[in-house]
Amino acid sequence: MNLKHYLLAICLMAALGSHARSRVLSPDINTLQAVVNDDWLALLPVMQLGSDDVMSVSFDQMSHSFHRYHYRLEHCEADWTASDDLFESDWLEGFNSNPIDDYEYSLNTTVDYTHYRLELPNERCRLKMSGNYRLWVTDDDNGDEPVLCVEFMVVEPVVQLGLGVTTNTDIDHNISHQQVSMTLNYDGLTVTNPTEQLRTVVMQNGRHDNSRVNVKPTHVTANGLRWEHCRQLIFDGGNEYHKFEVLDVSHPTMGIDRMWWDGSNFHAYPYDCTPRRNYSYDEDADGAFIVRNSDNIECYRLCDYVYVHYRLAPARRYDMAHLVVDGAWTTGSPDLYRMTYDEADQSYNAVVLQKQGYYSYQFLMVDDDGQATHTVPEEGSFSETENTYQALAYYRGSTDRTWRLVGYQQVKLK
């Protein structure tokens, strides 16, 4: 199938997820991860143009059958549509259809898989322009069928972008919300019409589902823009993410109540998640994850896969929405993370196949039409929650043919 036929489907699938715009398109692919400079806690894959930054993209194909995978890049506009007004040579140095030749077979695991990995930039291709990018991986053995895509960003820090967050909001004071403030100093960039030439995005914990795009600034000066007391930049505080760690399949580790072997597969049971009516501090990773085991040696081929059983109880049934398990690792089909309701014990449950490691996650409520996500009431919403906020600033000059990413900033409420 042609790549273009997948583009709209990818965007729709991404809208259903919270963290990940990157998506797995094949049921044979698992544990997709894109990390810059080995910083697995970073919630967005952002590289700086002209720097020594390196992005690693890795995934597992769930067998020991070798597949000839190729990757291809495309430059995107600020709204993630493909850039039609650019030549490939404008933004790419080198070749744009390259094989993935770094792979390893799993060793001594109950579930067979082959781990694939690539790095950008590399000796075959380098990026020459800032902005949004989409990386496609296709399977040569299956008619160049796309199996996944990764969306990442390259920034050239031209403007000065400032970001702040407070619990004293225009809705309430130190109760359940957090308010973001932002400044953008042009710092020599030529801006004659900020409404047309600038585009901003503000996110909480790298989430795209509740991002705020092109919020109108409260102050416009000759040198820049300011956003103060913007109601559109008020976010629900939510709650700290849940977390667990499967380091050894033979016994429980952090956050795991019990492990079970059914004769064919391992099963992990995190402690039941119960309603949280009051805030309680717990250090978490805001949805991030990392593959690892007790020895932390050759984790990408020695770690096994286990079925993880999630349970939220007690919980009332929501007839106009469904619940999902959500994190930066939920890159597969949305149905994989959808929870089912058990009338008998009033609980929501989901079972997900995951690789050994550390995972942080939350529960979200998704409207049945798939158009909006909400914090599950049982999880609570508190101003003290240590959320991380990201801001991106895009610029398109009067003679430019595309949007450049000219500013990126991240701040954590502490």
Q: What is the DSSP letter of 218?
A: S
Order of strands across the sheet that contains 388-395: 212-213, 198-204, 388-395, 404-412
Rounded to whole angstroms, what are the CA distances from 389 to 45, 141, 227, 326, 359? 14, 41, 15, 18, 20
What is the model's pLDDT at position 371? 76
Q: Based on the number of CB atoms within 10 Å of its own CB, is 306 exposed (0-12), middle (13-18) or buried (19 or more)?
A: buried
**Distance from C-alpha of 243 to C-alpha of 361, rounded to nearest angstrom:** 6
pLDDT tens sequence for the chain (414 residues):
344 434 444 444 444 456 557 999 999 999 999 999 999 999 999 999 999 999 999 999 999 999 999 999 999 999 999 999 999 999 999 999 999 999 999 999 999 999 999 999 999 999 999 999 999 999 999 999 999 999 999 999 999 999 999 999 999 999 999 999 999 999 989 999 999 999 999 999 999 999 999 999 999 999 999 999 999 999 999 999 999 999 999 999 999 999 999 999 999 999 999 999 899 999 999 999 999 999 989 999 999 999 999 999 999 999 999 999 999 999 999 999 999 999 999 999 999 999 999 999 999 999 988 878 888 999 999 999 999 999 999 999 999 999 999 999 999 998
CA distance 60 to 50: 30
Enumerate the domain spans of the chain.
3-155, 160-237+386-412, 242-379
Compute the half-sphere exposure of residue 113: CA atoms within 13 Å on the CB side of its CA. 26
Contact of 239 with 380, CB cutoff 8 Å: yes
Phi-psi region of 229 (alpha: psi -120 to 50; beta: other; left: phi over 0): left
The pLDDT value given to residue 19? 57
Strands 266-270 and 305-312, bridge-based pairing: parallel
Q: Residues with Cβ < 8 Å from 169, sequence gap 6 or more?
A: 177, 178, 179, 234, 383
DSSP codes, 166-190: ESB-SS-BSSSEEEEEEEEE-TT--
8 Å CB contact between 323 and 346 = no
- Report CA 361 to chain centroid distance, whole Å: 12
Rounded Cα gap, residues 392 and 414, in angstroms: 21
d(CA 7, CA 82): 9
Query: Smallest Cα–Cα separation from 273: which of 357, 373, 360?
Result: 360
Give the integer Cα–Cα distance in Å for 323 and 234.
Answer: 23
The one-letter amino acid at 287: G
Q: Where are the alpha helices (DSSP H) in 58-215?
A: 88-91, 194-197
- Tell which CATH classification among 2.40.50.100, 3.30.70.260, 2.60.40.10, 1.20.1300.10 matches the domain 160-237+386-412: 2.60.40.10
Q: Specify the pLDDT at position 181.
A: 97
Cβ–Cβ under 8 Å, residues 304 and 246:
no
CA distance 344 to 67: 45
- Identify whether the C-beta of residue 11 lies closer than 8 Å to the C-beta of residue 151: no
List residues bridging with 201 in a β-sheet.
213, 392
**Could you say which DSSP state residue 337 is in?**
G
- Whole-number pLDDT of residue 45: 97
Determine the distance from the C-alpha atom of residue 119 to the mean position of all C-alpha atoms in its chain, rounded to a whole number: 18
Q: What is the distance between the alpha carbons of residues 28 and 198, in angstroms, rounded to a whole number?
A: 40
- What is the C-alpha separation between 33 and 25, in angstroms, rounded? 14
Predicted model pTM: 0.94
- For 52, phi then psi, to 5°, come to -90, 15
How many Cβ atoms are within 10 Å of 32's Cβ, its own excluded? 22
- Structure confidence at residue 18 (pLDDT): 60
**Class assignment of domain 3-155?**
mainly beta
Same fold, 3-155 and 160-237+386-412: yes
Q: At 32, which helix (H) or strand (E)? A: strand 29-36
Length of the chain: 414
Is the bond preceding 121 in cis, omega lying within 30 degrees of 0? yes
